Chain A
């Protein structure tokens, strides 16, 4: 299958002595052969592989990879830091919320206490006022009752006089004398006084 009209030209053809010394592996040289197995091409490939791969290794290990690594670790640290910060802020928020709720509850309690004491005060005030008004009313009632009693007793006293005068007048009409003249004169005044 490898048969072809292409004749292979050895890479080391220009420096045959160097090639033969460098590649002493196998002796198939000269004729057409499968290129990957042509030992005369090994030396330059190995030399350049060493050079290029060595260069790549140095660039990667010294420059490129540490740079990527530092960027990645920096990002990881940053994210970690931000997470910790977020955690802290969340704790702070929780604490603030808790203290807010506490103060809210306190305020509510206080408001209730205040309302209760206000109500108590108002009730007491109301009671006092009511008692005062009741007392005042009782006094007035007593006065009024006393006045009524006085008036009544006065009226009862007048009744005696009226009765005596009436009796005198009746007697005068009946007997035609003015025995009780003083009593008869005073009768209208007594009547007016009632």
Chain B
């Protein structure tokens, strides 16, 4: 039986070298491209008629739009809508990568720490740059909570650490969810094969099969939920950048 880790292997499909940087087209690249093509294709195709009364596809696209837009509006406010394309792109990218990963035999882009870390750093980088640009050094008030001054020597380090932990938690949450879910799926699915191969024990093979089915449903839920969580947390962090330390 194949190792449950094998599904996370990066396989080079087309070796490419761009200015000394390894830019090989790998299975990860293939799934990133698929996710982006599906997401863009869906959004553009669904809106091709721009109907006043939407059809099914257009309704789905509009629902996705309204869903992310309300998330941004609720967390950041109307002035946060300039980040809406970013949050929407992040949501669609993570969602499509997660869901494509649920196709048996496929590769899950978001189970790679480097990908989730890059996305998290992109978000935090934008928060820091935009925050400093909007509020200057006043952005640092973010680290000064509204507490009695005596507590400040204690609170400021805590705030700083919690801020620095954001990119870590943002990336590890998504990465670990995807990784653990896929490993669990693979192990339970592997039990089915092992039991079937173990003669009389094959009679209890349906048990892990049922569990695998249930886990698949759970993983689809997790795939959608984690994309949503990523979008919500992005909005929450952007809210700090937009409003500075004042909530």
The count of chain A contact residues (Cβ–Cβ below 8 Å) is: 52
B22 touches A48 (CB 8 A): no
A11 touches B24 (CB 8 A): yes
Q: Which of B5, B28, B112 has the most CB of A within 10 A?
A: B5
B52 touches A78 (CB 8 A): yes
Bound Cα distance from A44 to B54, whole angstroms: 40
Residue of B whose beta carbon sits closest to that of A66: B85
CB A58 to nearest CB in B, in angstroms, measures 9
Given contacts A22-B22, A69-B65, A71-B62, contact A56 B6 (CB under 8 A): no
Task: Note all chain B residues with C-beta closer than 8 A to A187.
Answer: none
CB B84 to nearest CB in A, in angstroms, measures 7
B22 touches A52 (CB 8 A): no
Say which one of A35-43, A116-124, A147-155, A157-165 lies at the interface with B.
Answer: A35-43
Bound Cα distance from A71 to B69, whole angstroms: 14
Q: With an 8 A cutoff between CB atoms, is A100 at the interface?
A: no
Q: With an 8 A cutoff between CB atoms, is A193 at the interface?
A: no
A48 touches B85 (CB 8 A): no
- A128-152: which have CB < 8 Å to B? none
Q: With an 8 A cutoff between CB atoms, is A74 at the interface?
A: yes
Say which one of A2-10, A90-98, A105-113 lies at the interface with B.
Answer: A2-10
Q: With an 8 A cutoff between CB atoms, is B92 at the interface?
A: yes
B43 touches A68 (CB 8 A): yes
Bound Cα distance from A12 to B84, whole angstroms: 36
Bound Cα distance from A42 to B43, whole angstroms: 29
Q: With an 8 A cutoff between CB atoms, is B148 at the interface?
A: no
CB B227 to nearest CB in A, in angstroms, measures 13
A44 interface neighbour in B10, B43, B84, B119, Cβ under 8 Å: B10
Bound Cα distance from A65 to B81, whole angstroms: 12
B20 interface neighbour in A22, A34, A46, A56, Cβ under 8 Å: A22
Bound Cα distance from A74 to B115, whole angstroms: 38
Residue of B whose beta carbon sits closest to that of A67: B47
Q: With an 8 A cutoff between CB atoms, is B102 at the interface?
A: no
- B202-225: which have CB < 8 Å to A? none
Q: With an 8 A cutoff between CB atoms, is B162 at the interface?
A: no
B32 interface neighbour in A6, A49, A71, Cβ under 8 Å: A49
B179 touches A48 (CB 8 A): no
B5 interface neighbour in A34, A52, A69, Cβ under 8 Å: A34
B40 touches A60 (CB 8 A): yes
Bound Cα distance from A8 to B156, whole angstroms: 45
Bound Cα distance from A2 to B5, whole angstroms: 7
A45 touches B115 (CB 8 A): yes
Task: Note all chain A residues with C-beta closer than 8 A to B50.
Answer: 67, 70-71
**B residues at A contact (CB < 8 Å):** 2-3, 5-6, 8-12, 15-18, 20-26, 28-29, 32-33, 35-36, 39-40, 43-44, 47, 50-52, 54, 58, 61-62, 65-66, 84-86, 88-89, 92-93, 111-115, 118-119, 175, 179
